[in-house]
Amino acid sequence: MSNPDRALKIGLVSISDRASAGIYQDEGLPSLQTWFTAALTSPWELETRLIPDERPAIEAALINLVDDARCDLVITTGGTGPSRRDVTPEATLAVATKEMPGFGEQMRQISLQFVPTAILSRQVAVIRETDDHAALIINLPGQPKSIKETLEGLKDADGRQIVGGIFSAVPYCIDLIGGPYIETNDAVCKGWRPKHAVRPKQ
């Protein structure tokens, strides 16, 4: 049974051969944790994984976070480019029950505001469903600056939104798949819902 008042459970997966081998410090997980700390005002808890660019390991981590840890939202970072070792999108699609193509389209639109090579990015988003649970899985880029831009979008000098970030659509998506009600810090990223789905602020 869904419980809209429970804490959101987030799974974070950083995918990097060198970071998982201890060759350098992983930056994806700390960046994401810092962002969620600033962006969410409703309760949440965290599960993290640091794994190599190996498709079986990525698939196993995603399945474990959704099916066993029962995360509502799973975010991956890294492994979405065109190189031979970049297999995160393939692993994500392999564990999916539904594709959510609008997320990938918007991520590339955001990144194109900064770099023309955004068209090389292959990020996808999907829903994974079990008999009694569902989660949204989103691939993000690997760089901390790009992670923040993708989630928040692009604002002008006065703070007005020029290009919407993808996270504004996440709270309502989680509502629709039976997850908990997410509230955001509007100064970081304003979650959007249709009027009938908005609760009074606590």
Domain containing residue 146: CATH number:
3.40.980.10
The whole-number average pLDDT for the span 72-83 is 96
**Structure tokens given for 201:** 């602020």
Residue 13 lies in a domain: yes
Which of these ranges, 10-19, 116-125, 179-188, has the smallest mean pLDDT? 10-19
Contact (CB, 8 A) for 26 and 50: yes
Does residue 174 carry a pLDDT above 60?
Answer: yes
**Amino acid 202: pLDDT:** 62
**Amino acid 119: pLDDT:** 94
Does residue 152 carry a pLDDT above 90?
Answer: yes
Report the alpha-carbon distance of residue 47 to residue 75 in Å, rounded.
10
**Amino acid 170: pLDDT:** 98
Residue 156 lies in a domain: yes
Domain that holds residue 108: 8-197
Coarse DSSP helix, strand, coil percentages of the chain, rounded to the nearest 5 percent: 40, 20, 40
Residue 2 lies in a domain: no
Contact (CB, 8 A) for 127 and 93: no
**pLDDT > 90 fraction of the chain, expressed in percent and rounded:** 80
Residue 158 lies in a domain: yes
- Average pLDDT over the chain, rounded to an integer: 93
34-63 per-position pLDDT tens digit? 999 999 999 999 999 999 999 999 999 999
Number of domains in the chain: 1
Report the alpha-carbon distance of residue 82 to residue 73 in Å, rounded.
25
The whole-number average pLDDT for the span 153-163 is 82
Report the alpha-carbon distance of residue 100 to residue 83 in Å, rounded.
23
**Amino acid 163: pLDDT:** 84
CA angle centred on 84, ends 82 and 89, rounded to 5°: 60
Higher pLDDT pick, 155 / 124: 124
Please, which residues have CB within 8 angstroms of residue 3's CB and are 6 or more apart in sequence?
A: 180
DSSP 165: -
Report the alpha-carbon distance of residue 117 to residue 101 in Å, rounded.
19
Does residue 159 carry a pLDDT above 80?
Answer: no
Contact (CB, 8 A) for 50 and 27: no
Residue 1 lies in a domain: no
Residue 92 lies in a domain: yes
Residue 3 lies in a domain: no
Residue 151 lies in a domain: yes
DSSP 137: E
pTM of the model: 0.94
User: How does residue 1 score in pLDDT terms, banded at 50, 70 and 90?
Assistant: very low
